[in-house]
Amino acid sequence: MIQVHVPATSANCCIGFDSLGMALDWWATFQFEPSNELIITGCPKEYANEENLVVQSFLKTCQHLKKEMPTFHLHIGSDIPFSRGLGSSSTCVVAGILACDAWFQAHLNKMEILEIATDIEGHPDNVAPCIFGKAVCSFMEEGKPRMMIVPCADYKCLAMIPDYPIVTNEARKVLPSTLEYKDAVSQVGHALCFLQALQVGNEMILAKSCVDHLHEPYRKKLIPDYDSIHEQCREMDLAMWISGSGSTMLAISLDPTKLNQLQKNVETKLSIQCRQMPIASKGAWVDYE
């Protein structure tokens, strides 16, 4: 049996829209065993078919390797919620690719895996940290992903997960088509300081660099709890952002007492589910049973 372990991710990280993502120490496990027919367990019935994203990603990798698609029993063990901005679709994509690679012992390198995953997802900001771990900044050049791993200080993360989903395509519809020049200049400065503060552990600069002009001012309107949580984080000097397209919001800190206090406030006053975890130090991996 092939087992693929894949982390949740937080894309955008406030100032890195479509270009920065972070792997979280929150794992989904996908098990693959040979079978006479395709069987999928561990997910809602509407996803237990050939259109399942794990299966489609496995198929895409078969086509890349010029191999015939096998039949298997896929069991999904994941409590990463759907449509909450935590990279649930990216876990499926990366799991399918890595499982196919392991099935045929193709020994794809991580950049080849990233290229296939980006081709499926359309952008690398979630799949890159999913594959490499830590934080990853990336861009596209002539249809190919380019990326750099960003080492992170010992930050802990608090995911605040409302009970309502946000569909990525809908979240993109609220974004503007243009940006003022002064806002672009501001974005660059905040992004550069954010990356350095993330690496060296300057929590004050990290919090103050979380000022975005590209997506958060527009997407926050889709999240009724955003303003309340953002104000609490500002008062506590905590870095905080909308994870992916939402509805999850992520706060990070070197001080667990701050996160504990924020979690208590959010759970008791807003009745929002919370979960703490470190930044994942490694990306997806495969083992065998």
Which residues sit in the known binding site for ATP?
Answer: 81-91
Residues tagged in the binding site annotation = 81-91
Residues 6+ apart with CB under 8 A from 208: 193
Cα distances (Å, whole numbers) of residue 218 to 82, 212, 227: 21, 10, 12
CA pair distance 151, 50, nearest whole angstrom = 38
Q: Spell out where the chain has E strands.
A: 2-11, 20-34, 39-41, 72-77, 135-141, 144-150, 156-161, 239-242, 249-253, 273-278, 285-288
Q: At what angle do helices 110-121 and 53-65 cross, to 10 degrees?
A: 130
How many other CB atoms are found less than 10 A from the CB of residue 272?
A: 21
Q: Minimal CA–CA distance to 8: which of 226, 230, 243?
A: 243
Cα distances (Å, whole numbers) of residue 4 to 32, 97, 99, 142: 8, 10, 7, 30
CA pair distance 145, 128, nearest whole angstrom = 9
In SS3 terms, 65-92 reads as: HCCCCCCEEEEEECCCCCCCCCCHHHHH
Give backbone dihedrals phi and psi of 129, rounded to 5 degrees, phi first.
Answer: -65, -30
Q: Minimal CA–CA distance to 26: which of 2, 9, 3?
A: 9
Structure-token match 């870095």, residue found? 239
